[in-house]
Structure 1
Amino acid sequence: MKKVSAAMSREDVLVTTDWAEENLNTPGIVFAEVDEDTTAYDGGHIPGAVKIDWKAELQDPVRRDFVDCEGFEKLMSEKGIGNDDLVILYGGNNNWFAAYAYWYFKLYGHNAVKLLDGGRKKWELDGRPLSTDPVNRERTDYKAKEQDHSLRAFRDEVVEAINQKNLVDVRSPDEFTGKLLAPAHLPQEGALRGGHIPSAINVPWSKTANEDGTFKSDEELEQLYKDAGLDTSKPTIAYCRIGERSSHTWFALRELLGLQDVKNYDGSWSEYGSLVGVPVETGEQKR
């Protein structure tokens, strides 16, 4: 398996709940919570953690796109995050939106970022403290880099990747086959057609996590993707519905397993499933 770096280890991209509690007040370390449920933070959060609202703060208010470089700089500055700070991201539901934010940070060149392994779930299972105190950090003058497109796939590249690269559909089997357009607990909207991109393999993102929300071992992850038919000699593009679940898979493949060429297609099915003139398959994965 081709690695990004021979020296890469989990400690480079993950922290444990023990480490996190020991470093809550360490200068230069900022904890940030990012949840699908944007109200979860208000009911109790890791002491000192700032809140990042993925809907209101990470999305462009006019275009269907991310905040641009200037917008990311403004957000980081308002949150009191400096260029040299180590940011520890966490959230609920196996860190799915925290992984989304992690990908944003990497996209804009902030490499000093890690996930709290297990996220909010593991923190609460451990019986660790939560706080409802408001957190206001001193404003910084953050400077972001331009987007690193080696981490981001766009629709034309995705179409060209059919039968050429690994396309990993990380949605549920019902979404993959076309039975559903979105996760079962959400409104069935966001795309005109159900199904999947031809030649894609289906590896639901949640299969990478243990019951306590932590990531499975490297050996378990390697076996998971091997069994699904991932060819590690080829570049890989992960996708879901809006790009948050595929960020979690991107993290597992690139940051944990060390695959060199892995991109997240954030347009995902909400874009691809509404395009005119592109192929769509339904039914189970072809072997």
Structure 2
Amino acid sequence: MSRSEALVDIDWVAQHGSDAGVVLVEVDEDTTAYDGGHIEGAVKLDWKADLQDPVRRDFVDREQFSALLSERGISDDDTVVLYGGNNNWFAAYAYWYFKLYGHRDVRLMDGGRKKWELEARPLSTEKVTRPVTTYTAAEPDNTIRAFRDEVVGAIGSKSLVDVRSPDEFAGRLLAPAHLPQEQSQRGGHIPTAVNVPWSKAANDDGTFKSDDELRTLYGDAGVDFDGDIIAYCRIGERSSHTWFVLQELLGQPNVKNYDGSWTEYGSLIGVPIAVGDEPGQA
């Protein structure tokens, strides 16, 4: 994968967003922004209501994902362009879902909603409906997903990248400062993890930094590009952004997203935890 295959810019979206076979999708946890105005023709995905299982702590399964995309009018062979707020946090998470379920052509709009609005591009409040399709998701590709036991076993042997804020990493906060401090039972980070906040990969306008800048960012932090890499955050959305950078932009073939993230790990019984600003020992 390369930048040209994984990203489109806002000019491309303005020119091709209404082309046959192209589907624009806005993805957010809070969809009030979409309701107030979205890119013309973009369908809405609510990360929590549409993409999370209503009972288990997991995302929707293959059958649920197929039914969702069929209902939203997305076909297996469509070029799906995802965008959203927060510099594409939840759009990147959805991108990871699409990849996990085998969609062949999915892209992120570089800069997301922020870049579109900074350039005062037009927004529409018109309700978007598309003809129902018959979407068939593939079996999940768990080579891009890390689970609990693999993460515990990775301590000291694989590159663990904690993409949360320094205060979350150190254990001073359990969640971003603007959110309730809840969910995990303990603060801190997985021992030997390096802290590279997801936002360091983005420019002020929300677009991704250059490949050279990104490789330097992670290399200087101690990420081993020749070994296996696991990214995590609190619930998996910010680490999806970092997974996208490492695998889709930089072409690393060995990157997994730990979507259980700190909400799971910080509540496990008996696992090692490091606190403070240093990675800690295995």
Question: Which TM class, normalised by the smaller chain length?
Answer: over 0.9
User: Is 2:8–2:110's contact at 8 Å kept on the other side of the alignment?
Assistant: yes
Partner of 2:271: 278
TM-score (norm 1): 0.96
- Trace 1:23-172 onto structure 2 (pairs within 5 A): 23-172=16-165
User: Is 1:198 matched with 2:203?
Assistant: no
User: Is 1:228 matched with 2:195?
Assistant: no
Q: What is the CA-CA distance between 1:231 and the residue it aligns to?
A: 1.0
TM-score (norm 2): 0.98
User: Is 1:258 matched with 2:251?
Assistant: yes
Q: What is the CA-CA distance between 1:286 and the residue it aligns to?
A: 3.7
Counterpart Cα distance in 1 of 2:14 and 2:59: 31
SS at match of 1:164: coil
Partner of 1:13: 6
Cα deviation code 1:127-152 (max 9, x no counterpart): 11100000000000000011100010
User: Is 2:30–2:46's contact at 8 Å kept on the other side of the alignment?
Assistant: no
What amino acid maps onto 2:132 in structure 1? R
Structure 2 unmatched ranges of 5 or more: none
User: Is 1:32–1:89's contact at 8 Å kept on the other side of the alignment?
Assistant: yes
User: Is 1:36–1:92's contact at 8 Å kept on the other side of the alignment?
Assistant: no
Cα deviation code 1:132-176 (max 9, x no counterpart): 000000000000011100010000000000000000000000000
What amino acid maps onto 1:9 in structure 2? S
Give every structure 1 segment of 4 or more consecutive aligned residues whose post-TM-superposition deviation is greater than 6 Å: none
- Percent of aligned pairs with the same residue? 70
Counterpart Cα distance in 1 of 2:156 and 2:98: 30
SS at match of 1:252: helix
Counterpart Cα distance in 2 of 1:14 and 1:24: 14
Aligned length: 280
Cα deviation code 1:193-234 (max 9, x no counterpart): 000000000000000000000000001001101111111111
Partner of 1:211: 204
Q: What is the CA-CA distance between 1:38 and the residue it aligns to?
A: 2.1
Partner of 1:3: none
Partner of 1:5: none
Counterpart Cα distance in 2 of 1:95 and 1:40: 13
What amino acid maps onto 2:104 in structure 1? N
Counterpart Cα distance in 2 of 1:279 and 1:10: 37
Counterpart Cα distance in 1 of 2:250 and 2:67: 33
Counterpart Cα distance in 1 of 2:10 and 2:249: 18
SS at match of 2:108: strand
Q: What is the CA-CA distance between 1:9 and the residue it aligns to?
A: 2.9
Q: What is the CA-CA distance between 1:11 and the residue it aligns to?
A: 1.2
User: Is 1:121–1:213's contact at 8 Å kept on the other side of the alignment?
Assistant: yes
What amino acid maps onto 2:67 in structure 1? K
